[in-house]
């Protein structure tokens, strides 16, 4: 520390005689009294209660139906078949039927869900090659070592896409059908594109290109992940523009979930034809399932979710309940402080005693 000119000893270490260093700046020190604190507590309790009730009513205005199809309907035989790894290439289809009593009005979202599947493990999340997924040709046939052990197939061919995340890609598919009180089954149209984040679809995931070669020719010399039934350039047999690394289902899966129980978007109701212009009408429904994804190895469950959404999202009661619990705690503290103040604080002599 520098010395003050002309001063030695303790005077050289004395702070400057300024308002800041001598702590003489003007300040406001609030006096916390019952007349100021108690109204604040009651106001916060009322505010949290109103927010909680408002959010709870908003959440309850959504409609949701969940169906665990792991062993439901005719899926029990598929469940048993998938216990054997040697049956992975065999196709198994099953059906689950359900009834909707009240119509789902507005946009309806179709999700698939998994339970006890930990996508948040660090080693699992790191097992991917972002350079490969962004379309770099040098990474296509020379994947990153992060993808080990899912980097090459038994024949030594590089895997595209490589890594544990892509290898565990959820590959069940669904066809939703509707039947009213009378009449035949009618397929429910679902939008299967446009379900990803814009940045994922247009920035983080791109297909490699090589002149005028087709997508299949670009991926020539690579192998599909070990547990896939189709190569990456044939994921969508109906829309060739939805193949490769820009396949919507693949992109949705590659965005890892934070919790072991999660759901991911599969499709959105396409409201252009009757009787689905206003949403899902009441009636009987069936889901034809191509049952491919095994869950026995991690003791998991599979489900489908049909739900409507509000500005707040789906049926998540955590935040409104948290507000109501917080409101109750604040109100309890406010009442206790009021009783203490009424008994001891109003008369200063009681406090002195």
Query: Model confidence over 3-37: pLDDT tens digits?
Result: 555 556 666 678 888 888 888 888 887 788 888 88
Is there a single domain that holds both residue 56 and residue 71?
Answer: no
Strand partners, 325: none
Q: Are residues 333 and 283 in the same domain?
A: no
Two tokens, residue 335: 């009442």
The verdict on residue 123 lying in a domain is yes
Q: Tell me the pLDDT of the chain averaged across its residues.
A: 89
Tell whether 233 is covered by a domain. yes
Mark whether 283 and 350 lie in a shared domain: no
% of the chain residues with pLDDT over 90? 62
Q: What is the pLDDT of residue 10?
A: 64
d(CA 126, CA 142): 17
My answer on whether 271 and 327 are in the same domain is no
Could you tell me which of 344, 294, 301, 336 has the C-alpha nearest to residue 82?
Answer: 294
3-state secondary structure of 284: strand
Q: What angle do CA 335, 337, 342 make, to 5 degrees?
A: 95
Residues 199 and 333 placed together within one structural domain of the fold: no
pLDDT of res. 8: 63
258 lies in some domain: yes
**pLDDT band of 1, cuts 50, 70, 90:** very low
Q: Is residue 330 part of a domain?
A: yes
- pLDDT for 24 equals 84
Per cent of the chain over pLDDT 70 is 93
**What is the count of structural domains for the chain?**
2
Which among 80, 112, 115 has a CA at the least distance from the CA of 94? Answer: 80
pLDDT for 108 equals: 95
Helix residue spans in the chain (DSSP H): 34-60, 76-81, 122-126, 130-133, 137-140, 164-167, 198-199, 215-218, 248-254, 318-340, 348-352
> In the predicted model, what is the mean pLDDT of residues 325-351?
83
Regarding whether 54 and 129 lie in a shared domain, the answer is no
Residue 48 shares a structural domain with residue 103: no
Given this model, what pLDDT does residue 351 score?
Answer: 45
Output helix, strand, coil percentages for the chain, rounded to the nearest 5.
Answer: 35, 20, 45
Q: What is the pLDDT of residue 268?
A: 96
Q: Are residues 44 and 174 in the same domain?
A: no
Among the listed residues 254, 280, 20, 46, the one whose alpha carbon sits nearest the alpha carbon of residue 133: 254
Q: Are residues 130 and 219 in the same domain?
A: yes
Whether the predicted pLDDT of 53 surpasses 90? yes
The per-residue pLDDT for 127 is: 94
Please check the confidence at residue 218 and state whether its pLDDT lies above 60.
yes
Residue 173 structural domain: 67-309
Whole-number pLDDT of residue 6: 56
Q: What is the pLDDT of residues 235-264, one digit of tens each?
A: 988 888 899 999 999 999 999 999 999 999
pLDDT, one tens digit per residue, over 113-161 is 999 999 999 999 999 999 999 988 888 989 999 999 999 999 999 999 9
Residues 307-318 have a mean pLDDT of 88
- C-alpha separations of 193 from 40, 176, 238 in Å: 50, 16, 11
286: CB partners within 8 A, 6+ apart:
95, 96, 97, 98, 176, 177, 179, 185
Residue in this structure with the two tokens 């983080």, named with its chain if needed? 204
Task: Give the confidence band of 353 by pLDDT, cuts at 50, 70, 90.
Answer: very low
Are residues 271 and 345 located together in one domain of the fold? no
pLDDT surpassing 70 at residue 2: no
Question: Could you tell me if residue 7 is inside a domain?
Answer: no
The reply to whether 19 falls in a domain is no
What is residue 88's DSSP assignment? T
Length of the chain equals 353
pLDDT at 263: 95
Query: Which value, to the nearest 10 degrees, does the dihedral of the CA atoms of residues 173, 176, 177, 180 take?
Result: 160
Q: Are 224 and 332 contained in the same domain?
A: no
Sign of the Cα pseudo-torsion (311, 315, 319, 322, in order): positive
- HSE-CB of 87 using CA atoms within 13 angstroms: 14
Classify residue 180: in a domain, yes or no: yes
Whether the bond between 75 and the residue before it is cis, its omega within 30 degrees of 0, is no
Q: Is 50 exceeded by the pLDDT of residue 352?
A: no
Element (H, E) at 230: none
What's the average model confidence in pLDDT over 295-316? 90
Would you tell me how many other CB atoms lie within 10 Å of the CB of residue 236? 18
- In this structure, are 41 and 163 located in the same domain? no
Q: Does the N-terminal peptide bond of residue 161 adopt cis geometry, omega within 30 degrees of 0? A: yes
- Residue 4 in any domain: the answer is no
């Amino acid at each position: 520390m520098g010395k003050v000119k002309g001063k030695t000893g303790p005077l050289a270490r004395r702070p400057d005689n300024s308002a800041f260093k001598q702590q003489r700046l003007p300040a406001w020190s609030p006096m916390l009294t019952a007349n100021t604190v108690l109204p604040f507590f009651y106001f916060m309790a009322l505010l949290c209660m109103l927010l909680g009730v408002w959010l709870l009513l908003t959440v309850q205005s959504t409609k949701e139906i969940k169906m665990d199809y792991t062993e439901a309907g005719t899926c029990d035989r598929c469940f048993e078949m998938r216990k054997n790894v040697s049956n992975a290439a065999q196709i198994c289809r099953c059906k689950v039927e359900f009834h909707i009593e009240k119509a789902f009005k507005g946009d309806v979202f179709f999700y698939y869900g998994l339970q006890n599947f930990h996508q948040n493990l660090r080693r699992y999340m790191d097992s991917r090659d972002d350079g490969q997924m962004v379309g770099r040709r040098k990474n296509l046939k020379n994947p990153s070592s992060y993808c080990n052990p899912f980097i090459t197939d038994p024949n030594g061919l590089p895997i595209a896409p490589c890594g544990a995340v892509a290898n565990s890609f959820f590959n069940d598919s669904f066809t939703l059908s509707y039947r009213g009180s009378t009449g035949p089954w009618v397929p429910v149209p679902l939008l299967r594109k446009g379900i990803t984040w814009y940045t994922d679809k247009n920035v983080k995931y791109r297909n490699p290109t090589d002149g005028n070669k087709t997508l299949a020719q670009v991926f020539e010399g690579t192998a599909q992940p070990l547990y896939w039934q189709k190569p990456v350039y044939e994921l969508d047999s109906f829309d060739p523009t939805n193949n490769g690394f820009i396949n919507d289902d693949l992109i949705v899966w590659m965005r890892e979930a934070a919790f072991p129980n999660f759901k991911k978007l599969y499709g959105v109701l396409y409201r252009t034809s009757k009787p689905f212009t206003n949403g899902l009408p009441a009636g009987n429904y069936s889901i034809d399932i191509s049952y491919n994804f095994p869950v026995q190895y991690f003791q998991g469950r599979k489900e489908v979710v049909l739900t409507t959404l509000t500005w707040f999202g789906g049926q998540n009661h955590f935040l409104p309940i948290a507000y109501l619990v917080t409101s109750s705690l604040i109100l309890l503290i406010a009442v206790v402080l009021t009783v203490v103040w009424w008994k001891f604080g109003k008369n200063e002599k009681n406090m002195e005693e």
